[in-house]
Amino acid sequence: MSAPAAADLGFIHRFEPAANPAAPPILLLHGTGGDESDLIPIGRMIAPESALLSPRGKVLEEGMARFFRRLSEGVFDQADLEFRTAELERFIERAAAAYNIDKLRLLALGFSNGANIAASLLLRSPHALAGGILIRGMLPFQPAQLPDLHGRHILLLNGDHDPIVPRTQPQQLAALFRTGGAQVTLEWQPAGHALTQRDIAVAAAWLRTLA
C-alpha cells in the first residue's frame, strides 16, 4: 500500500497492512537514532499478523532522530514532551482514518525513547492507545492527575543491568499505570539497555495472551 505524503499525516512513516484483520494493530516507536524502518522486523517477530504503523521521530539530537528533546541523559524537556505527545496523537488520528486502523485495539511497541513517548501518550491521552509494550522505558513525567486506564494492557520490559534507566523508574511507572486501573506486567530481563531476543520472545508470548 502506498503511504500518504508525510505532510498529509504529519510524520514520515511506514505502514504495513495486517495479514489477519483480527490481529491488533501495532504502533512502532523507535529509540534514539532509529527511523521508521528500525522496528519493522521486531514488530513482525512479535506480532506477525498485525498491521504495523511506524513513524519517524521529528526531533534531531546530533543527527539522531528522537520523538522529543531531552536536556541531558534521563532529563526530559517537559514542554517539548507535551507538545510532541499531542503531535503524535494527531498523527495516530490521521493515520487511523487513512489506513482504516481500529484505534480501540491499537497497541504501542516502543523502545527506549519510543517507550517513553508511549508512556506519555498513555498518561496524557489514554484513549489514543489500547495499551502497549514498553521496552527499557522510564517515567516520563509525574502527572498531576491520573487518567482512567481501565481496560488498558501494558507490558514493561526492563533490564536488570540497565545503565540508563534506574530500577525505581519502571517500578514507579508500573505503579502509576496500576493505580489508573491498567492491567500491568513488569518483567526484568538479564540485560542492559539494548533490546534482546528474550525481550522479543516475552513480548510475543504476552501479546498472544490478549487474543
List the catalytic residues.
Answer: 112, 162, 193
Q: DSSP assignment of the chain, as one string?
A: -PPPPHHHHSS-EEEE--SSTTSPPEEEE--TT--TTTTHHHHHHH-TTS-EEEEPP-EEETTEEESS-EEETTEE-HHHHHHHHHHHHHHHHHHHHHHT--GGG-EEEEETHHHHHHHHHHHH-GGG-SEEEEES-------SS----TT-EEEEEEETT-SSS-THHHHHHHHHHHHTT-EEEEEEESS-SS--HHHHHHHHHHHHHT-
Q: Which of 200, 74, 186 is nearest to 141 (CA)?
A: 74
